Amino acid sequence: MTALTAPAVRGGRRPGPWTRLAWVTWRQHRFMLAGVAALLGGLSLYLLIMGLKIRSAYASVAACHPATSAGCETLASLNAGYHSTAQTLSGLLQVVPVLVGVFAGAPLLARELETGTFRFAWTQGCGRLRWATTKLTLLAAALTAAAWAFSVLFSWYYHPFFVEGLDGVLAPQLFDLRGVVYAAWTLAAFAIGTLAGTAIRRTVPAMAASLATWAGLDLATALFLRKHYEAPLISRGADAGLRNAWVVSQWFTGPDGQQASQNTIRAVMQQAPARVQESRDVSVPLAWLGQHHYTQWWSYQPQSRFWHFQYIEGGWLLALSLVLLTATVWLIRRRAA
């Protein structure tokens, strides 16, 4: 029997202190944590610099008079360029949580299970439960805290566009980058990765599995689940009061009060005068349809529900993460040395 195959000592020897386990965890994974810090730090520096430029630009526009002058219009067009860049950046930031899950969570235990080095750790007086719990707890806390701090900075960076009404706070490409949800998705990605690594015991397949699982969960949430956190409100007529609200669906009802299909609405519009069909003002054809007893209806989520949705999504993601991390520890305890 060698040191690698000997069972962990259960009696007569005190287990290693938690502080020493924490120090070993830091030594083992300091390069991974440094990589995450470099990624988020570089992005944070960009957000800070651009956030200051955007605020300065909007202040210049607000102070520019008259607003219709060529100089003021040039400043406004520059702000439009800032908004376009910010939208592109928000799309790129969507992948950061899954990168953390794939490259930090999946290899965390899979690499040691794959190479067999976990057996040495279990013979050093820490035991598999303390070994797994220390790794998962410390790294999950560090990554979640870093993601939360980054989401606070992103909210500050994007705030001028919300003030100007260029985007709604419930917009799918922005909702999970702010509040508590960004940190919750990062924690969920980490938990998915660690469970995949423990179950598969191979680093590369675990990374692929965690990537696919996270992407499927995120897509299902954005397309199907999130809109049902609370019952949507119903509005009729013009959509002027729904600016930047999250419109879930819209439909028409006919003179009989029943829902009219899009083909029916198109057929009715073909009978409208040319000035109505060619109008660029949406309210003109809607008013004409209203005169013929066709009413437009809207199902929407108001912006005032932002924090309600944040806490609902953050709550179930936290619960899911705890279940996945508990399952990871359970698998480690059951695994034969």
Give dist(CA 166, CA 80) in Å, integer: 9
- Quote the pLDDT of residue 235: 87
* Entry pTM: 0.84
Q: What is the pLDDT of residues 24-39, one digit of tens each?
A: 666 676 788 788 889 9
Which one is predicted more confidently, 175 or 77?
175
Query: Quick one: pLDDT at residue 57?
Result: 80
- Complete DSSP assignment for 210-264: HHHHHHHHHHHIIIIIGGGSSPPEEEES-SGGGTTSEEEEEEEE-TTSSEEPHHH
Is the bond into 66 cis (omega within 30 degrees of 0)?
A: yes
- In the 8-state DSSP scheme, what is residue 64? -
pLDDT at 297 over 60: yes
What's the gap between Cα 54 and its chain centre?
A: 23
Average pLDDT of the residues in 306-313: 96
327/72: higher pLDDT: 327
Q: What is the C-alpha separation between 268 and 270, in angstroms, rounded?
A: 5
How high is the pLDDT of residue 143? 92
Q: What is the band of 164 on the pLDDT scale with cuts at 50, 70, 90?
A: confident
Q: Is the pLDDT at 286 greater than 90, yes or no?
A: no
If pLDDT is split at 50, 70 and 90, which confidence band does 11 have? very low
* Least confident interval from 18-22, 93-97, 235-239: 18-22
Could you tell me which of 201, 286, 295, 208 has the C-alpha nearest to residue 252?
A: 295
3-state secondary structure 119-134: HHHHCCCCHHHHHHHH
pLDDT over threshold 70, residue 104: yes
Token pair of 25 as six digits:
């965890």
In Å, how far from its chain's centre is CA 292?
Answer: 44
- How high does pLDDT run on average in the chain? 83
pLDDT tops 80 at residue 94: yes
β pairing state of 295-301 and 246-253: antiparallel
Task: Tell me: pLDDT of 12 over 50.
Answer: no
- Per-domain boundaries in the chain: 32-231+304-334, 233-302
* H helices present in the chain, as ranges: 18-63, 70-93, 96-100, 106-115, 118-122, 127-163, 172-175, 181-200, 203-220, 262-269, 274-277, 283-291, 306-334
Read off the pLDDT of residues 131-159 as tens digits, 9 standing for 90 and up.
Answer: 778 888 888 999 999 999 999 999 999 99
Torsion of CA 41, 44, 50, 53, to 10 degrees: -100
- Percent of the chain scored above 70 by pLDDT? 79
pLDDT in the model for residue 192: 95
In sequence order, the 6+-apart residues with CB closer than 8 A to the CB of 47 are: 153, 154, 156, 157
Contacts of residue 25, Cβ cutoff 8 Å, sequence gap at least 6:
134, 135, 138, 139
Q: Which range is least confidently modeled, 8-17, 43-52, 116-125?
A: 8-17
